[in-house]
Structure 1
Amino acid sequence: MQVPWAKVEAGQPTRVAHLGRLKAHARVLHSSLPDPVLRHLPLGPLPHQARARSPLNQTAGVGEAVPGQAVINGFLEADLQQYIEMFFHMRSIRRLCLENILPPWLLQSRTLSGAEAVNALRPFYFAVHPDFFGQHPREREINENSLKRLSAYLENLQKPGWKTLKPTQLTFYVRETEQTTLEGPELLNSLGFRAVTFTLHSRDLLNTVLDILNSCNLSTEHIQSMNTNVTSQAPKGAKRTFDRPIKWDKTYYSFTGFRDPEEELEKVQKMETSLISWLDNNEKSAIKKLTDSLPLRGELDRLKEELSHQLLLSDIRWQRSWGVAHRCSQLHSLGRLAQQNLEVLQNIKGCTIIFTDRSGMSALGHVMLGTMDVHHHWTKLFERLPSYFDLRRRLVLLEEQISQLLGGLQVVYLEELQPAMTIEEYYAVLDCFHGRLLQSRVPFHPRSLRGLRMILDSDRYTPSLHELGHFNVPILCDPVSLQWFLFTKAAQARDNMKKKEELKTIENDLIDASVEKFSLQKLYKEPSISSAQMIDCCKRLLQQSLPSLQGMHLCVSHFYAVMQDGDLCIPWNWKS
């Protein structure tokens, strides 16, 4: 049997190229098959049975040409035909092996489009969206930066001709949501979210989406149903192909010069960042950013002190981690308003001003100035401050009434642990809880829980005891169940509070010792870092010699980063 396109005549070098490519594809496919299959499909001389069945071997010796038989690049035309048959037979064997290894829904899936990938990642976006981290500015900034890098990675995957692969490591703070399937409650910190770090290295959208969801312990069932729908909508007679990236032989990357994605991934996984190496690599960048920010830092301190003295403020703070330049701009804006209309600012005497995303009064009674608002909105807020002060007095009275109903248990609002709320929102929460207590009339012995604290939680359904010693009480909690829980956990709550004070003292001493030893300008931690984690970090730092930290601003976090103004972020569990 002759292969029409394989005949070679003078002046037809492309036929030889076809054979060369066919042999190369056969070798690549051969290298990807499991060992049991390879034993039955050797790549080289054809099996003896195949030679015996060859029409050519019935009239001549094996591998010998006969008159009129075409020879292609040293191979007989009949040998070429048998190579072709073997190549397509190996494709069937490979498909059979994959069907036994991979789940059917993944085997029958095809590459996701960009829109489908975005839709599949909706649970992930909902869990990490920066808007849900308004009360946690540093976590919000990290998620914003990581989402930008993730978006760039997904765009590169969809670009035609994208051949190289550089593994990308991302860190996200993942909220506790209904879609989150956690391995255990210990994964969450006291703020209701956890830090997740993973490395992207896949070369197609589907595997990338699966990697992201699995790394965050999010469900992938909706992707399975998506692929099932696609399969069911295909024509009955249509062929299903396994459209997955090819696993090339190592020689392919040596010959072409492309980077081997598997080797790149192994390097990233094996190369665990150490504190000393990271400081060596980022010292120059941090020093430059810190040096550039020093004039603005000085101006920020000056403006803050002048405005605090002029307006008789208790403090000026920022809810988000804006850069020094942004903070100076906000203080300049407040200063201009004070020059134009100082009289209206008389109402803020003794207050704490917080620059945040919206204007109003916080649950703690601090004056919030929205950074996106103009002077007109700020002026209206200052004019309404007397009514806010009245609401604040009513709120404090309501807290005292709840405390009396709960045996002296103090109701508090912990800014670092609870969602940011306006005073109107917090008053509504207290009023709802107070009404439920009045209806139940559950008796508490007076002063039986005096000295203990509780916070109201709208996201939980059962009460719990925090490691810091306070109770997390759901707004809609059953008062009878709450009474039993408080009485049984009261002793443990007192022990936790005592332990918290002891840890705080040790933490402050270690921070002072670290600042002194390394000549740091500042050492601080993120709100999500516990005292125990900070103590562990500082103890190990004090055992090191780190001259590169001299004069730096050091933040203990969950990741390595050089912030825009030169602050160094290191994970609390850094490796030496």
Structure 2
Amino acid sequence: MMYNIHENLADINANSVVQKRGTVFWTYSCRRHLNSTQTATALRPFYFAVHPDLFGKFPKERAVNDKSLKHLHEYVSSIQANQRISLQPVELNFYLRSPVSRNFKRIRINLKSKDIRQTVVSVLQACGLPLDYVNTLPKQENYSTGERANSVNWYQYEEGELRYGGEWRPKPPPLRTLIRWLKENEERLRTYCEASRQTQEEIDALCERLVSRVGVESVRWENIWGNSHYIACLRTFNNLCDAQLARMRNTVGGRHLVFGNHTGINLHGEVVLGSEDVATDWMMLLRSIQAYDPMIERLPKMEQELSGLLNDIKIMRRHHRKFLMAQTYEVLLNRMLNSLRRSQQTVSQVLGAQDLSNLVLVVECESGPLAVSNGGEFLIPVSVPANMMLKFIAENKEQAATFLIDAKYHTFYMNQTLDQCRQSLNVSQISRDEAVTPKQMTECCQRLLDNRREINHLFQGTKLKVSTYYTLMKDGELTIPWNWLGG
């Protein structure tokens, strides 16, 4: 029970908790204006009311809402980036769909305030949406630090033991807070960053050499191993190019080159060379690379046909599945196509004439459970019978559409907060793990920004990755959990 209380401290609107014997100290760090997370939460009902994906069969209204949303995003971004001086009043038009009919209501929103709270209020009021959440946020706050032992006195230490709820319990271990962990690993982090600087310079030089001399479009490392393995791969490939430069230009010129776990051509048409394969394996692929071009050209046509068989549902290739090879992807698409070609009568019975163009289907595995991802994509294995697939889509299409809009909404605010982090924090780069959702990433980055005065010097020059755990790689990459504890 005590450990749950410690874990929940991260959810309290305080930046840190300083514990001393016999009492509890709270350190508050407050801000005057709404941050990105608060703005995203406040505008979420509006986003669901006007999102263009809700107007699939109404191109005029969809185009108006799409254009106005872009202008609104630019306006909000300018305020939060402290570019208020250059802001000009904006008049935006939106269409709201009536919940009880197919009619639309056109609304006009005049944006002229340079305050983010007033801007959010203006948008919500114009649409007749409630202000309950905005009203819960203080209009103006001051920075203060002080002792709150009387008002918040959950626990106290006495002689190495913990008194909680009138009971004596063993003293819990120290909390693993972000600042504590960074300070404990600060010396190692500086050592690794310094050692990896020279390595990174060589990597950049070798990649630039492949781009300029061989003509590859880009070079990327997608592997669990560190920079020492990356350099070894780059040196080997550069040596191959030096030995037969003209042939390699003709082979990989204009293509994207990836060093990964396997050798082949992935579903995006990128050349993937396995870091554990020898140069002979690489050359076997490169000699036959042009034979894959017709297959890469067939994939969009197969996706288009599959979309047509499922009432224009979008077929998407997820970015983080880039190591699904093109040959395997073609087989998966073909199996699903054959199943649906024989089941068009069932499609008509289950889906009817519904327009599914606002939904997304992902084809990337042979077997597994039917699912809707957090991003709103239908994840359907090709081994599932057509009638089960169609029934699952029909029963979950509303939920998938909601997830899709929500994911786009949170992705926008994540990108906005990431831009602020790159400008404000001293990290050399920042990225997120696949296990971290855009909403979680936004919350993490906003808290980093709120605490930048305390942590900037600890992040100096590091490559920051947000995941679900703490770790420090020898190439200087620092990984922290998205829900890190302050203090």
Q: How does 1:362-381 map to 2 (within 5 A)?
A: 362-381=266-285
Q: Deviations over 1:454-503 (max 9, x none)?
A: 11253655533222121111212232333343234334333322221221
For the residues of structure 2 that align with 1:342 and 1:432, how far apart are their CA atoms? 40
For the residues of structure 2 that align with 1:383 and 1:486, how far apart are their CA atoms? 43
With the length of structure 1 as denominator, give the TM-score of the two structures: 0.51
User: Residue type of the partner of 1:570?
Assistant: I
Q: Deviations over 1:98-125 (max 9, x none)?
A: xxxxxxxxxxxxxxxxxxxxxxxxxxxx
Alignment of 1:560 with 2:467, yes or no, is: no
Contact 1:408–1:446 (8 Å) recurs in 2: no
Question: What secondary structure sits across from 2:273 in the alignment?
Answer: strand
- 1:428 aligned partner: 331
**Higher strand proportion, which one?**
2
- 2:177 aligned partner: 274
Tell me the matched-pair count.
Answer: 309
Alignment of 1:296 with 2:216, yes or no, is: no
Flag structure 2 segments of 5+ consecutive residues without an equivalent: 1-169
Question: For the structure 1 residues 335 and 476, does the alpha-carbon distance in structure 2 shift closer, same or farther, using more than 3 Å as the test?
Answer: same
Alignment of 1:305 with 2:212, yes or no, is: no
Q: How does 1:49-448 map to 2 (within 5 A)?
A: 270-345=173-248, 346-416=250-320, 418=321, 420-441=323-344, 442-443=347-348, 448=355
- 1:509 aligned partner: 416
Q: Deviations over 1:211-255 (max 9, x none)?
A: xxxxxxxxxxxxxxxxxxxxxxxxxxxxxxxxxxxxxxxxxxxxx
For the residues of structure 2 that align with 1:326 and 1:433, how far apart are their CA atoms? 38
Q: Deviations over 1:364-402 (max 9, x none)?
A: 221111223333332221120111111222233222211
Contact 1:469–1:493 (8 Å) recurs in 2: yes
Question: For the structure 1 residues 404 and 445, does the alpha-carbon distance in structure 2 shift closer, same or farther, using more than 3 Å as the test?
Answer: farther
Whichever of the two has the greater Rg, that structure is 1
Contact 2:267–2:322 (8 Å) recurs in 1: no
TM-superposed CA distance for 1:310, in Å, is 2.4
- 1:492 aligned partner: 399
Q: Deviations over 1:47-92 (max 9, x none)?
A: xxxxxxxxxxxxxxxxxxxxxxxxxxxxxxxxxxxxxxxxxxxxxx
Question: What secondary structure sits across from 1:556 in the alignment?
Answer: strand
Contact 2:375–2:403 (8 Å) recurs in 1: yes
User: Residue type of the partner of 1:412?
Assistant: M
Identity %: 25
Contact 1:351–1:366 (8 Å) recurs in 2: yes
Question: What secondary structure sits across from 2:363 in the alignment?
Answer: strand
Question: For the structure 1 residues 536 and 562, does the alpha-carbon distance in structure 2 shift closer, same or farther, using more than 3 Å as the test?
Answer: same
For the residues of structure 1 that align with 2:284 and 2:278, how far apart are their CA atoms? 10
- Aligned to 1:535, which of 442, 448, 460? 442
For the residues of structure 2 that align with 1:574 and 1:474, how far apart are their CA atoms? 35
For the residues of structure 2 that align with 1:457 and 1:337, how far apart are their CA atoms? 33
For the residues of structure 2 that align with 1:525 and 1:458, how far apart are their CA atoms? 24
TM-superposed CA distance for 1:572, in Å, is 1.0
Contact 2:324–2:364 (8 Å) recurs in 1: no
User: Residue type of the partner of 2:434?
Assistant: P
For the residues of structure 2 that align with 1:548 and 1:350, how far apart are their CA atoms? 40
Question: What secondary structure sits across from 2:380 in the alignment?
Answer: strand
For the residues of structure 2 that align with 1:339 and 1:510, how far apart are their CA atoms? 43
- 2:119 aligned partner: none
Alignment of 1:456 with 2:456, yes or no, is: no
Greater than 4 Å deviation, 4+ residue runs = 444-447, 459-462
- 1:550 aligned partner: 460
For the residues of structure 2 that align with 1:461 and 1:355, how far apart are their CA atoms? 28
Contact 2:266–2:322 (8 Å) recurs in 1: no
For the residues of structure 2 that align with 1:287 and 1:462, how far apart are their CA atoms? 45
Flag structure 1 segments of 5+ consecutive residues without an equivalent: 1-265
User: Residue type of the partner of 1:325?
Assistant: S
Question: For the structure 1 residues 462 and 284, does the alpha-carbon distance in structure 2 shift closer, same or farther, using more than 3 Å as the test?
Answer: closer
Q: Deviations over 1:421-446 (max 9, x none)?
A: 32222211111111111122233567
Question: What secondary structure sits across from 1:569 in the alignment?
Answer: strand
User: Residue type of the partner of 1:573?
Assistant: N
User: Residue type of the partner of 2:404?
Assistant: M
For the residues of structure 1 that align with 2:409 and 2:215, how far apart are their CA atoms? 35
User: Residue type of the partner of 2:480?
Assistant: I
Superposition RMSD in Å? 2.2
- 2:480 aligned partner: 570
Contact 1:524–1:555 (8 Å) recurs in 2: yes
Question: For the structure 1 residues 551 and 370, does the alpha-carbon distance in structure 2 shift closer, same or farther, using more than 3 Å as the test?
Answer: closer
Q: Deviations over 1:238-284 (max 9, x none)?
A: xxxxxxxxxxxxxxxxxxxxxxxxxxxx78x6222111111111111
Contact 2:215–2:254 (8 Å) recurs in 1: yes
User: Residue type of the partner of 1:272?
Assistant: L
Alignment of 1:519 with 2:422, yes or no, is: no
Contact 2:329–2:364 (8 Å) recurs in 1: no
For the residues of structure 2 that align with 1:550 and 1:516, how far apart are their CA atoms? 13
Question: For the structure 1 residues 459 and 376, does the alpha-carbon distance in structure 2 shift closer, same or farther, using more than 3 Å as the test?
Answer: closer
For the residues of structure 2 that align with 1:294 and 1:461, how far apart are their CA atoms? 43
Contact 1:523–1:555 (8 Å) recurs in 2: yes
Contact 1:290–1:565 (8 Å) recurs in 2: yes
For the residues of structure 1 that align with 2:311 and 2:215, how far apart are their CA atoms? 38
For the residues of structure 2 that align with 1:411 and 1:553, how far apart are their CA atoms? 34
For the residues of structure 2 that align with 1:501 and 1:543, how far apart are their CA atoms? 24
Contact 1:408–1:447 (8 Å) recurs in 2: no
- 1:225 aligned partner: none
